[in-house]
Structure 1
Amino acid sequence: MSNHATKSIKSVIGFLASLLLLLTGVAGCGASSQDSISGEAKPTNPRGASGQKPMTSDSALRKTIKLNSGYEMPMLGLGTWTLSNDVAEESAYFAIKNGYRLIDTARYYGNEIGVGRGVRRAIDEGIVSREEIFVTSKIMPGDYQRPDAAIDDSMARLGLGYIDLMLIHQPGRGEILLTVLSSLSQEEARSISENVTWGVRKKMADGKFSVPFSRFLGYDRGEDGGLIINEDEAQTVRLIFRLYLEGLSSYAIAKELTGRGILTVTGKEKWNAATINGVLGNEKYTGNARLQKTFTPDFLTKKAVKNTGQVPSYYVENSHPAIIEPAVFDMVQAEMARRTKCGRRYSGVSIFSGKIKCGECGGFFGSKVWHSTDKYRRVIYRCNNKYGGKKCRTRHVTEEDVKVAFVAAFNRLVGEKDEMIANAKTVRSTICATEDLERERSALTEELTVVVKMVEECVAQNARIAQNQAEYQERYNGLVGRYEKTKARLDEVMESIAAKEIQRERLTGFIRTLERQGTIAEFDEGLWSSMVECVTVGADGVLTVEFRDGTRA
């Protein structure tokens, strides 16, 4: 750095420490956070809740210094040390939105991906161009022997085309300085992390949230920052859910979409199973949003872990337009759980996969190919346990055998249509009723709210007034035990409600199909997928079709 630049920096009171921390890569200089899903932003106070305004202004944000290379670098920027990828994305995006033009990251921070997402999001929304943003990253000591590769890796993680300034992290004998600065800044970083975390969780509790994305299959971002349906992509989402319920695996669905020439949300021609699983498991397609699925227990390591009750989780209903009915989503989750319990890898290569069961051992039949290389080639289905452990005596079946059995069973069902429909409606109105469970759910939810408030008051009182700590701990443990017991029962009730709603939806579809359908002369894939639960092959070779209302024929 030139003497002129150094003098310029020294002449700006208050910036010396910030720049020194920036060059060693251990400090954040401030951020901004989203106030609501509408996209309004408020600066985050890095000093806590004192109410003091951040000492930044448009003029300060516009000040630059000229490097020896001739490029202008903003003197004030956003540091991202200690931030996770998700928080770094939000911080970078809102910092740019509020006028920051320098964003600092490093491989050591582990958040280059998040920073890149935040910057690209700002660029995609037209807030800035790439040329207006100055991004710095760093080569860590372990990469000193491979600087070119390290720079390429950072560029790939950021995804911004180029990096404006690459620094050497902890150069020379700077370890002592780094240790000192780390000690000084750790408490500040903890304070910033706790303030940001509290603000985010408070907004979650109020039902306010943002969905950070540059591309979201089925949705675009509206003018108010909320989600609006992209109908062309929404058709693909509905197709994915329908194909899964028809028996295809995630891999088979990916292959089907690729074969149809449907592009992914990023414009790629080839789909993969991981993308399909992500769509199938995303509750936001129901118009609802589950918040705080993961959390970061250590603000230094920034490692996110799954939230299994360690911190509050929130479920916001009707937060945006739905693409998939909640009952359909629940059916898919139940089907995913069923396939997981199969014990063997679910193939899903055809509409018969996972639907033919062995009447002797309860296992599933899998497809096998006989004479695969000659003119006698034939596809059959055989129990997967036929030659493993205790051998099953059930014979193999062909697709034609299954089709014939289904046509015959379905026509018998249609012949007794009126009685079948009446029985299904009775089952739907009695066994699938959820009114009592919903009342219990409301009572349990209210109980949890009361217990949480009692815990908060217990902790607050212990902080204000000197107490016998043994008595306090006993009271605290009692409240926590009460909470856990209530929460466990609430989870059971929620699962029961979901199971009944799934069964109700299946029966409704069964009734609707039966009401409009007459006898059939040949196999129909649509009827098979919507009406059949499974086909059981007995030891005597007889095929029994079980329909979704529980009827066997």
Structure 2
Amino acid sequence: MITNQSRPGGTSRVKVIPARVRTNRNAEHVDGQKKKIAAYARVSTMEEHQSGSYELQVEYYTDYIQKNPAWELYKVYTDEGITGTSTKNRAGFLEMIEDAKAGKIDYIITKSISRFARNTLDCLSTVRMLKNLPKPCGVYFEKENLDTLDSKSELFLTILSSMAQEESRSISENTKWGVQKRFSQGKPHIPTTYFLGYDTDEEGQIFIDEEQAEIVRRIFQELLDGKGTPTIAKGLTKDGLKTARGNKTWTSDAVYKILKNEKYMGHCLAQKSVTVDFLTHKRVRNKDHQPQYFIRNTHPAIIPEEDWYAVQEELDRRNKMLRDPDEKYRMCYSGTSPFSNRLFCGECGRPVTRRRMTSSKKGEKYYFTTWHCRAACRRDPEFQDCNSQYVWETALEIGFMKLLYDMQKNIGRVMADANKAIEECALTESEEARLKELEEQIDRVSDQITQLSEREMTTHDPLYEANLRHLIYEQEILQMEHEGLYKNKQESIYLKKNLDKLLEYLHLIEKPDDEFDSKAFVKTIERVTVYKNHIVEFIFKCGVKRKILAKRPK
């Protein structure tokens, strides 16, 4: 019989009843059935020392569960080589959660919070979801000695999971810093598993796979010959040639990526993409997020540097066709005809397009091909106020060959006009000296960056980071000035090179009515402007301009 006794002064006597163990993790169910226990093991990389840790985790928890007579091993769930910052791609983890939702598991045992999840939100939301199931499922973190079915574990779990997430962030930053340091030392990472034209030997050295390299050379040459990327892709597919992944179907995008890859000239642009979130591992193109590193002569070249840059200029030229300088119209590249994308209206500036027309002579119908302003023939949805006339394609072909013959007979004037254009964009003596000085300064700063990066440092040093940022900024300023002068110098070189090419074709002309040479047109002509009354101006790649009268042939 329990009686209430009071102390003198009316104060009640209080008896404290100690709490028992808050969870019955180690005991059987009330009905005597054994608890079904699952274990979860994970390592984040596939490296050899990590794989040993993975196997030990699996073996340890199998023995650990089987030693408890109140437990029954349900399954050991595993994820190998998977990061813990997200649960999205962890097949073993997701399977375990689904089984828990189905009531197949009473408890999950894992080594630590970091093995379960390094993302605080994922960890807490998963634990709370499991605890609130119709048949609650607990998680026991052995290292931290935390049982999630214990009402007092929530606060500790929040703190410790946040620490695990912060540790993951720190690891990510240190890894990123280490990678950037190697890049700055000129040590790129160039995998060749799906790299068309290259392979790696047993010592890790990159070498050229000549059979695949021929495909790469073909792609670059065909673009310089005037073909578009879809046409090149169709030709490769038709010939049964395989991509880097072994597919026999080529796409325009696959060809374009090969053409833009600087590694084919033996150099490497490192850190083209960056990870912007260490939890989601989202990667984006590196648009001034982090510095990039251009490392020269890292491996054998398949494409000469001169040809690679010529391809980039051609791709840039075709890209600019989408808009004229005044942004009046769009135009897609076409390699169907040598005149495609090179003819423009002298009245409104719009592209001149190819038309297949019909007419009749003495009651007989015939077809002929013309070139007509896109606006004048009502093919431009944004502008139609142009009344320019069309010109016959045969008139252009005949006029071009006759023009080459006339230029051959007056080659002295051609040389004078071309040299004048070259002199206008050539650098002066002072500009040449400044360009050389800038190149020396850039090399000197690059050497300083390399020397600074070669220091053996394992942690972030604020002074090191400040010096490195200052040198990179100085290099960027010098590079901007250098690019402006270098561009002018390259323009004069481009004109000289195309003058030599024009002279080669002029020497091949025998008579004014020679058959139209489409290759000569593509290789020498930059732009053609069609004016009223069939006046046509040819602008050559060497800077020379000539006008002809392109009348309908009789």
Report TM bin, short chain.
Answer: 0.5 to 0.7
**What CA distance in whole angstroms lies between the structure 1 residues aligned with 2:100 and 2:491?**
57
State the one-letter code of the partner of 1:384: R
Q: Deviations over 1:356-388 (max 9, x none)?
A: 12222333222334469x975554332223334
**What CA distance in whole angstroms lies between the structure 2 residues aligned with 1:309 and 1:143?**
45
Residue 480 of structure 1 and its aligned partner are, at CA, apart by: 7.8
Counterpart of 1:440 (choices 438, 441, 459) is 438
TM-score, length-scaled by structure 2: 0.62
- Asked whether the 8 Å contact 1:383–1:396 carries over to 2, the reply is yes
Counterpart of 1:487 (choices 476, 485, 494) is 476
Residue 179 of structure 1 and its aligned partner are, at CA, apart by: 6.5
Q: Deviations over 1:140-159 (max 9, x none)?
A: 989999xxxxxxxxxxxxxx
Secondary structure, in 3 states, of the residue corresponding to 2:539?
Answer: strand
Task: Indicate how the Cα distance of structure 1 residues 80 and 204 shifts in structure 2: closer, same or farther if over 3 A, else same.
Answer: same
- Asked whether the 8 Å contact 1:535–1:544 carries over to 2, the reply is yes
Residue 234 of structure 1 and its aligned partner are, at CA, apart by: 2.5
* Rg larger in structure: 2
The equivalent residue for 1:131 is: none
Q: Which runs of 5+ in 1 are unaligned?
A: 1-5, 7-18, 23-27, 33-42, 44-55, 83-104, 110-134, 146-168, 465-475
Residue 420 of structure 1 and its aligned partner are, at CA, apart by: 4.3
Residue 277 of structure 1 and its aligned partner are, at CA, apart by: 1.5
**What CA distance in whole angstroms lies between the structure 2 residues aligned with 1:445 and 1:174?**
62
- Asked whether the 8 Å contact 1:219–1:230 carries over to 2, the reply is yes
Q: Structure 1 stretch 187-196 or stretch 282-291: which is displaced more?
A: 187-196
**What CA distance in whole angstroms lies between the structure 1 residues aligned with 2:478 and 2:76?**
58
- Asked whether the 8 Å contact 1:218–1:229 carries over to 2, the reply is yes
Task: Indicate how the Cα distance of structure 1 residues 510 and 463 shifts in structure 2: closer, same or farther if over 3 A, else same.
Answer: closer
The equivalent residue for 1:286 is: 265
**What CA distance in whole angstroms lies between the structure 2 residues aligned with 1:174 and 1:181?**
18
Residue 526 of structure 1 and its aligned partner are, at CA, apart by: 2.4
RMSD: 4.7
Task: Indicate how the Cα distance of structure 1 residues 361 and 237 shifts in structure 2: closer, same or farther if over 3 A, else same.
Answer: farther
**What CA distance in whole angstroms lies between the structure 1 residues aligned with 2:439 and 2:250?**
40
State the one-letter code of the partner of 2:333: S
Residue 209 of structure 1 and its aligned partner are, at CA, apart by: 1.2
**What CA distance in whole angstroms lies between the structure 2 residues aligned with 1:361 and 1:143?**
70
Q: Deviations over 1:514-543 (max 9, x none)?
A: 247421521223222221212221222122
Task: Indicate how the Cα distance of structure 1 residues 241 and 425 shifts in structure 2: closer, same or farther if over 3 A, else same.
Answer: farther
Secondary structure, in 3 states, of the residue corresponding to 1:297?
Answer: strand
The equivalent residue for 1:549 is: 542
1:76-95 alignment runs, 5 A limit: 77-82=80-85
**What CA distance in whole angstroms lies between the structure 1 residues aligned with 2:420 and 2:352?**
33
Task: Indicate how the Cα distance of structure 1 residues 449 and 393 shifts in structure 2: closer, same or farther if over 3 A, else same.
Answer: farther
Secondary structure, in 3 states, of the residue corresponding to 1:536?
Answer: strand
Q: Which runs of 5+ in 2 are unaligned?
A: 1-25, 27-38, 67-74, 102-124, 133-138, 140-147, 149-156, 324-329, 547-554
Counterpart of 1:354 (choices 324, 341, 357) is 341
Residue 202 of structure 1 and its aligned partner are, at CA, apart by: 1.0
Which of structures 1 and 2 has the larger relative contact order (alpha carbons within 8 angstroms, sep 6+)? 1
Task: Indicate how the Cα distance of structure 1 residues 236 and 247 shifts in structure 2: closer, same or farther if over 3 A, else same.
Answer: same
State the one-letter code of the partner of 2:490: E
- Asked whether the 8 Å contact 1:287–1:317 carries over to 2, the reply is yes
Residue 81 of structure 1 and its aligned partner are, at CA, apart by: 3.4
How many residues are treated as equivalent by the alignment?
A: 421
State the one-letter code of the partner of 2:527: C
**What CA distance in whole angstroms lies between the structure 2 residues aligned with 1:140 and 1:359?**
71
1:198-213 alignment runs, 5 A limit: 198-213=177-192
**What CA distance in whole angstroms lies between the structure 1 residues aligned with 2:167 and 2:182?**
23
Q: Structure 1 stretch 232-241 or stretch 410-419: which is displaced more?
A: 410-419
1:99-498 alignment runs, 5 A limit: 107-108=88-89, 138=94, 170=126, 173=130, 182-342=161-321, 343=323, 344-350=330-336, 351-370=338-357, 376=366, 378-386=368-376, 387=378, 388-389=382-383, 391-417=385-411, 420=414, 431-432=425-426, 436-444=434-442, 446=444, 487-488=476-477, 490-494=479-483, 496-498=485-487
- Asked whether the 8 Å contact 1:140–1:170 carries over to 2, the reply is no
Secondary structure, in 3 states, of the residue corresponding to 1:324?
Answer: coil
State the one-letter code of the partner of 1:307: N
Quick check: which one's helix share is greater? 1
Task: Indicate how the Cα distance of structure 1 residues 238 and 414 shifts in structure 2: closer, same or farther if over 3 A, else same.
Answer: farther
**What CA distance in whole angstroms lies between the structure 1 residues aligned with 2:470 and 2:462?**
19
Residue 409 of structure 1 and its aligned partner are, at CA, apart by: 2.3
Secondary structure, in 3 states, of the residue corresponding to 1:236?
Answer: helix
State the one-letter code of the partner of 1:345: M
The equivalent residue for 1:539 is: 532
Secondary structure, in 3 states, of the residue corresponding to 2:194?
Answer: coil
